């Protein structure tokens, strides 16, 4: 393929420009996203386990439900039966009470002691893992969620453009450059080769991320447009039908209506029988929890969440089935792995490719590596731009403030993000209840802003090595804090894994700091 030189040159400018605008946002999104791959284990690790008597058997769960509803009638509105309680989650039953004035709701756990009396507990869940997930979704911005998502969408578009323009630039020289990593020649060549290698070999992953990120970000506005365009295009006869079907419950309640839910005095089927009936209808699907709630008409609705390691799933780690709570029959299998129609299966594939939930922990770790590799790709991109400009400036003898500014900003944001996340891991052990959302937010942004200010104050010669050493120090204090103040068994698998990762990352940062010191001033 021959692309005119003029177009190639303009694509080089386009590639640099979108890379510089989106690069730092993408660094935060990928670094936080890699950590979010293990959101649930991390949340369990930093949160205190609720002290509850051992869970009642599934067979005895109706008794627990009866006693809970007698003492707390409000629990009927929204409750969950857990099918596989474990050490981190010893509860069999929980209920959820949404606060009316827009606050986050409160979960209460319920169990029975040896004498059969009801025991309840409110779990103390650290906001650390959830904060990192939101940081990932909002590309590191502290604005309200909807506003941040619009920025995320635009960043996703720029990211997609960076990928396309990167391919267009790389294509003409693909044969000579593909496997080349010239570590010895100039610093610029080294960054360029690393950048190309990472970019080409993780291209499918990056294309998936760019496409899905844009969809996730513009999800709600697009549905609003669709509603405005199509909702009234139906013949007026079907109007009443349409309003019902586009209400919150949508297709599911419509289907449920057709199968005629029994009157409310009928008792729902016992959880054990639901599980048995589900096993007959969807073998291979491992149900994890039964979510009961009431729809607008006051009818009981049951959604089963679980996983099936043979298939990708619609949620971050679970698929769902809508079930008739009175007969155990599956009402909707739109999101049930392995039982979806072709259209929904295609959609679920996109979600699964973004979440990396289709092959157990092996694929999850692969996604962690790809995510960190992506973060590094954006860092190398910024380094390339800075080094190229600096070379030109040394030749012409004029230093530009733009190069200086981006150099400081890159060092500040990258180290600020790494240190901020490491700092909230450390702080979670010192803060009450593992840190609520507000505390965690202030710790992260406090550290982040501090690093950015430091980056602008430090001299170019020491900047990178000092900031990297500081990041290493904070990251290495995670295992120290966890050992001193952690309440979890020191030898448990999640504990060892997280501490090893922290030590490894800390060592890498120290190594990079040493390298920076050696190379500083070279271009």
Partner 1 sequence: MKQGAERQNKDWFFKFLAAFFLGIPLLLGVMGLVGLGCHNDGNPRAISSQLMMWMLSPLWITLLGFSGFFRSSRQAWGILGGLSLFAWALFFLLRGFCL
Cα–Cα distances in angstroms (integers) from residue 124 to residues 42, 89, 103, 107, 109, in the given order: 14, 12, 16, 10, 11
CB nearer to partner 1: pick between 219 and 487: 219
Query: Applying CB under 8 A, does 245 fall inside the site for partner 1?
Result: yes
Write down the least CB distance from residue 145 to partner 1, Å: 18
CA distance 225 to 211: 20
Query: Applying CB under 8 A, does 226 fall inside the site for partner 1?
Result: yes
Query: Applying CB under 8 A, does 214 fall inside the site for partner 1?
Result: yes
Query: Applying CB under 8 A, does 231 fall inside the site for partner 1?
Result: yes
CB nearer to partner 1: pick between 145 and 232: 232
Map 80-138 to HEC letters.
EEECCCCCCCCCCEEEEECCCCCCCCEEEEEEECCCCCEEEECCCCCCHHHHHHHHHHC
Q: How many CB atoms lie within 10 A of CB 186?
A: 13
Binding track over 148-177 against partner 1, x by CB under 8 A: --------xx--xx-xxx--x---------
CA distance 1 to 149: 38
Among 189, 242, 262, 488, binds partner 1 (CB under 8 A): 242
CA distance 288 to 246: 29
Among 225, 394, 457, 489, binds partner 1 (CB under 8 A): 225
Residues 6+ apart with CB under 8 A from 315: 305, 335, 351, 355, 357
Give the interface segment with partner 1, choosing from 93-101, 265-273, 304-312, 345-353 (CB under 8 A).
345-353
Q: Which long-range contacts (CB under 8 A, 24 or more apart) does 491-498 make?
A: 494/41, 494/42, 494/44, 494/45, 495/45, 498/42, 498/45
Among 227, 296, 461, 487, binds partner 1 (CB under 8 A): 227
Judged by CB under 8 A, how many residues of this single chain contact partner 1? 49
CA distance 523 to 390: 7
Query: Applying CB under 8 A, does 480 fall inside the site for partner 1?
Result: no
Collapsing DSSP to helix, strand or coil, 312 comes out as coil
Query: Applying CB under 8 A, does 445 fall inside the site for partner 1?
Result: no
Give the interface segment with partner 1, choosing from 132-140, 177-185, 246-254, 377-385 (CB under 8 A).
246-254
User: Which alpha helices (H) appear in 317-436, and where do they start and end?
Assistant: 342-355, 360-396, 401-430
State the residue for tokens 């679920």.
348
* Sheet strands side by side (includes 300-307): 118-121, 106-112, 93-97, 78-82, 286-294, 300-307, 319-323, 330-332
CB nearer to partner 1: pick between 64 and 158: 158
CB nearer to partner 1: pick between 377 and 443: 377
Residues 6+ apart with CB under 8 A from 204: none
Q: Are 34 and 366 in contact (CB under 8 A)?
A: no
Query: Applying CB under 8 A, does 203 fall inside the site for partner 1?
Result: no
Query: Applying CB under 8 A, does 10 fall inside the site for partner 1?
Result: yes
CB nearer to partner 1: pick between 250 and 430: 250
CA distance 129 to 447: 17
Q: Is 260 left (phi over 0), alpha (psi -120 to 50) or beta?
A: left
Give the interface segment with partner 1, choosing from 46-54, 209-217, 290-298, 464-472 (CB under 8 A).
209-217
Query: Applying CB under 8 A, does 223 fall inside the site for partner 1?
Result: yes
Give the interface segment with partner 1, choosing from 7-15, 262-270, 319-327, 469-477 (CB under 8 A).
7-15
Query: Applying CB under 8 A, does 368 fall inside the site for partner 1?
Result: no
Write down the least CB distance from residue 262 to partner 1, Å: 25
Among 183, 229, 237, 280, binds partner 1 (CB under 8 A): 229
Write down the least CB distance from residue 77 to partner 1, Å: 23
Sites of contact with partner 1 (CB under 8 A): 6-7, 9-11, 13-14, 17, 156-157, 160-161, 163-165, 168, 210-212, 214-215, 218-219, 222-223, 225-231, 233-235, 238, 242, 245-246, 250-252, 334, 341, 343-344, 346-347, 350
């Amino acid at each position: 393929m021959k692309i005119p030189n003029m177009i190639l040159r303009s694509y080089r400018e386009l590639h640099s420009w979108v890379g510089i605008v989106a690069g730092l946002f993408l660094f935060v999104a990928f670094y936080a996203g890699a950590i979010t791959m293990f959101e649930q284990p991390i949340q369990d690790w930093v949160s205190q386990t609720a002290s509850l008597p051992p869970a009642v058997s599934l067979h005895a769960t109706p008794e627990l439900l009866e006693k809970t509803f007698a003492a707390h009638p409000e629990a009927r509105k929204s409750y969950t039966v857990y099918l596989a309680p474990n050490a981190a989650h010893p509860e069999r039953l929980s209920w959820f009470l949404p606060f009316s004035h827009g606050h986050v709701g409160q979960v209460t756990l319920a169990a029975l002691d040896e004498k059969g009396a009801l025991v309840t507990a409110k779990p103390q869940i650290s906001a650390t893992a959830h904060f990192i997930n939101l940081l990932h979704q909002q590309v590191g911005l502290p604005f309200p969620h909807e506003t941040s998502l619009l920025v995320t969408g635009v960043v996703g578009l720029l990211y997609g453009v960076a990928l396309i323009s990167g391919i267009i630039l790389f294509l003409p020289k693909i044969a000579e450059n593909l496997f080349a990593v010239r570590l010895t020649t100039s610093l610029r060549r080294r960054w360029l080769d690393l950048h190309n290698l990472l970019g080409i070999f993780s291209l499918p992953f990056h294309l998936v991320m760019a496409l899905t990120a844009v969809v996730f970000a513009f999800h709600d506005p697009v549905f609003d447009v669709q509603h405005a365009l199509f909702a009234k295009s139906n013949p007026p006869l079907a109007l009443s039908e349409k309003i019902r079907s586009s209400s919150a419950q949508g297709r599911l309640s419509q289907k449920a209506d057709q199968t005629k839910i029994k009157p409310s005095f009928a008792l729902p089927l016992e959880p054990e029988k639901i599980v048995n009936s589900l096993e007959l209808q969807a073998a291979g699907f491992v149900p994890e929890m039964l979510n009961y709630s009431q729809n607008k008409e006051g009818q009981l609705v049951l959604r089963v969440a679980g996983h099936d390691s043979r298939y990708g799933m619609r949620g971050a780690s679970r698929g769902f089935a809508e079930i008739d709570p009175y007969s155990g029959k599956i009402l909707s299998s739109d999101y049930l792995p392995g039982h979806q129609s072709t259209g929904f299966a295609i959609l679920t594939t996109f979600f699964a490719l973004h979440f990396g939930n289709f092959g157990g922990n092996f694929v999850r770790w692969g996604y962690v590596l790809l995510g960190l590799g992506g973060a590094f790709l954006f860092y190398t991109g910024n380094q390339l731009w800075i080094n190229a400009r600096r070379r030109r400036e040394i030749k012409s003898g004029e230093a530009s403030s733009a190069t200086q500014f981006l150099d400081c900003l890159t060092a500040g944001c990258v180290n600020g993000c790494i240190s901020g996340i490491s700092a909230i891991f450390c702080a979670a052990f010192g803060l009450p209840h593992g840190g609520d959302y507000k505390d965690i937010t202030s710790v992260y942004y406090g550290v982040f802003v501090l690093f950015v200010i430091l980056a602008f104050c430090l001299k170019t010669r020491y900047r990178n090595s000092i900031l990297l050493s500081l990041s290493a120090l904070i990251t290495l204090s995670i295992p120290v804090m966890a050992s001193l103040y952690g309440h979890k068994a020191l030898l448990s698998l999640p504990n060892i894994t997280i501490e090893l990762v922290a030590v490894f990352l800390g060592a890498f940062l120290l190594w990079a700091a040493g390298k920076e010191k050696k190379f500083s001033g070279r271009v």
